[in-house]
Amino acid sequence: MGRVSALWRYPIKAVGRASADRISFEAGKTTPWDRVWGIAHTNAVYEGDGWQHCRNFIRAAGSPKLMAVSAQLDEDAGTVTLSHPDRPTITVNPDQDQNTLIDWVAPLVAEGRPAPSSVYRTTRGITDSRLQSISVGNLASLRALSDKLGRPVSEHRFRANVWLDGLAPWEEFDWVGKDITIGDATFAVREPMERCRATEANPDTGERDIATLALLQTWGHRDFTVNVECTQSGTVAIGDEISL
């Protein structure tokens, strides 16, 4: 049915993307090292000490320059190296270097938006969904977007954890309510993911240059990628096959 073409983690929510060759998923949990930290802003209001709503954190939907951050993750050291065309490259441990991280990211937050104020960490990924979700994208659907626009649309606009190739466009939406196996892990496909204005920003420059939501709406929705939950632990690697 298709194969894994890319794997990604986003260690700091909305701030950087880090590639991986393989990921070991655990049943009932989000992607390891994905959205481990979030940078809360001055207007954040927490609900308990677990998962928090995305409105509490700086986001590319309101600060598009954040989309151009790339990252390298050192799992052993617990550090993240961040790069951006307008900022010096830094390596930080977000638990220990909160002030350094906040100072680095502050110029990327749009004028008029609440300023970054603290680093939040929880035991699960701070995904946009209350589900312990993992995002899976279909490159054929991405190519359909590119064809309609008339120029390439980068996969980085959609910040998926797993990208698949060799499928039909929009086939992933037919999987909702079904189970899929990727590598030796199994996932329950829960829902399509409705998109926000973060996808309008160019992941190389951080400038808004595509009306992504209007483009998606030509298909009658604003959905792209699907949220899944891991139901059987296993490892997924680039090149692994997928089956229903």
pLDDT band with cut points at 50, 70 and 90 for residue 106: very high
Q: Which residues pair with 59 in a beta bridge?
A: none
Closest residue by Cα to residue 188 from 244, 126, 104, 106: 244
Residue 83 has pLDDT above 80, yes or no: yes
Burial (Cβ within 10 Å: 0-12, 13-18, ≥19) of residue 43: exposed
Provide the pLDDT for residue 130.
86
Q: Report, as an integer, the average pLDDT of 86-109.
A: 98
Is the pLDDT reported for residue 169 higher than 80? Answer: yes
3-class DSSP state for residue 60? coil
Q: Which amino acid is at 45?
A: V
Residues of the chain with CATH 2.40.33.20: 3-28+129-243
pLDDT at 166: 97
**Domain 3-28+129-243: top CATH class:** mainly beta
Q: What is the pLDDT of residues 115-143, one digit of tens each?
A: 999 999 988 899 998 889 999 999 999 99
Res. 32 pLDDT band, cuts 50 70 90: very high
CB contact at 8 A, 238 and 1: no
Question: Across the chain, what does the average pLDDT equal?
Answer: 96
* Amino acid code (one letter) for 218: T
Model confidence at 47, in pLDDT bands (50, 70, 90)? Answer: confident
pTM given for the model? 0.95
Contact 68, 206 (CB under 8 A): yes
